[in-house]
């Protein structure tokens, strides 16, 4: 199936597909093996910084290799492209999905560049999944002491339909009280679910995306899926599981020098996070 067909199936089936960001092959191994065990479609995400580290062509080749081996429906998404050039590089490299993040731009400029990016993506591959963003998410993929959500951050309902129609996007990342990263108590602010419901009614044809899924309560996640969220991004929880487990192994076995032994626990800890999220999102057993 194409990326759009995978998402359409999720939309019709009322479940969400997890996007799990990676920057190492060990993280990729953990995500895909967990998805295989649970028979779930999966989205692999790489931000601009993550692509720079792992290599953009290398990410495409690695995902293709895994896909051939396990036979999973896997979407490879270029997450948070901040410029047209960044998106173009990912499209040309063979990513099956691309996200242009114009959330820091004025509305008209966001529309203009997103439309340009959509037209280029579709000219190269009509089946590529293209995602735009409307509204502003505070924070980054790390641990925060506290983040305050402001009303002006939220996706504006009156702009939503215009944005979707003018840009031609397949997916829309919304700001409904979600943040990037997690607060120190791992309990992020509650979502504005009424706003999500209004957005879904305004643009029922697009795939709605929830960025900043790490730290969001299970109750809010379940309700968000009921209200139309089809894709949920997880990054910070994976990073925490990965880095803490490596530190734990090194402290316990300070003389160990074999990377595959040091990283073994990290792979298992990342798998735990992925399994939990896949089960929560309802995508288990969907292939």
- What six digits make up the tokens of 50? 């993550």
What residue ranges in 164-226 does DSSP mark as E strands? 171-174, 180-183, 207-210
User: pLDDT at residue 144 above 70?
Assistant: no
Name the strand (E) or helix (H) holding 130: strand 129-134
CA 24 to CA 71: how far, in whole Å?
A: 21
Decide the pairing of beta strands 42-46 and 74-81.
parallel
User: pLDDT at residue 2 above 70?
Assistant: yes
Q: Where are the domains of the chain?
A: 3-281
Q: What confidence score (pLDDT) does residue 185 get?
A: 63
Q: What confidence score (pLDDT) does residue 184 get?
A: 59
Q: What is the pTM of this model?
A: 0.94
Q: Are 100 and 113 in contact (CB under 8 A)?
A: yes
Q: What confidence score (pLDDT) does residue 145 get?
A: 63
Terminal Cα distance for the chain, rounded: 11
Show the CA angle centred on residue 255, arms to residues 257 and 252, nearest 5°: 105
- Closest among 71, 12, 81 to 42, alpha carbons compared: 71
Contacts of 262 (CB under 8 A, 6+ apart): 246, 249, 250, 253, 256
User: pLDDT at residue 50 above 90?
Assistant: yes
Q: Are 285 and 38 in contact (CB under 8 A)?
A: yes
pLDDT in tens, 17-32: 999 999 999 999 999 9
Q: What confidence score (pLDDT) does residue 40 get?
A: 98
CA pseudo-torsion sign 279, 129, 178, 201: negative
Q: Are 242 and 270 in contact (CB under 8 A)?
A: yes
DSSP, res 50: H
Q: Are 103 and 110 in contact (CB under 8 A)?
A: yes
Using 50, 70 and 90 to split pLDDT, how confident is the model at 212?
Answer: confident
- Neighbouring C-alpha atoms within 13 Å toward the C-beta of 90: 32
CATH value of 3-281 in 3.40.630.30, 3.30.200.20, 3.40.50.300, 3.20.20.70: 3.20.20.70
Show the CA angle centred on residue 59, arms to residues 96 and 67, nearest 5°: 65
pLDDT in tens, 250-277: 999 999 999 999 999 999 999 999 999 9
User: pLDDT at residue 143 above 80?
Assistant: no
Known catalytic residues are 79
CA 113 to CA 75: how far, in whole Å?
A: 23
Q: Are 275 and 285 in contact (CB under 8 A)?
A: no
Q: What confidence score (pLDDT) does residue 186 get?
A: 61
Identify the residue with better confidence: 212 or 138. Answer: 212
- What six digits make up the tokens of 240? 């925490």
């Amino acid at each position: 199936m194409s990326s759009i067909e995978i998402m359409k199936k999720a939309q019709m089936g009322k479940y969400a597909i997890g996007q799990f960001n990676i920057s190492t092959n060990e993280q990729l191994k953990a995500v895909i093996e967990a998805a295989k065990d649970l028979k779930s479609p999966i989205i692999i995400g790489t931000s601009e910084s993550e692509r720079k580290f792992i290599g953009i062509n290398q990410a495409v080749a690695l995902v293709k290799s895994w896909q051939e081996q396990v036979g999973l429906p896997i979407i490879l998404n270029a997450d948070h492209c901040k410029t047209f050039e960044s998106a173009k590089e990912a499209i040309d490299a063979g990513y099956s999905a691309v996200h242009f993040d114009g959330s820091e731009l004025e509305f008209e400029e966001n529309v203009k560049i997103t439309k340009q990016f959509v037209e280029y993506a579709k000219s190269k591959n009509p089946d590529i999944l293209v995602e735009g963003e409307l509204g502003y998410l505070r924070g980054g993929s790390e641990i925060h002491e506290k983040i305050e959500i402001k009303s002006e951050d939220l996706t504006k309902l009156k702009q939503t339909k215009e944005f979707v129609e003018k840009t031609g996007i397949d997916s829309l990342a919304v700001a409904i009280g979600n943040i990037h990263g997690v607060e120190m108590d791992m309990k992020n602010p509650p979502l504005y679910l009424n706003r999500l419901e209004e957005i879904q009614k305004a643009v029922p044809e697009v795939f709605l995306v929830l960025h900043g899924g790490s730290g969001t309560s299970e109750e809010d996640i379940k309700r968000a899926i009921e209200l139309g969220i089809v894709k949920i991004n997880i990054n910070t929880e994976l990073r925490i599981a990965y880095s803490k487990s490596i530190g734990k192994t090194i402290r316990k076995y300070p003389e160990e020098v074999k990377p595959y032994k040091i990283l073994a626990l990290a792979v298992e800890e990342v798998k735990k996070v992925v399994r939990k999220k896949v089960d929560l999102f309802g995508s288990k057993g969907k292939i």
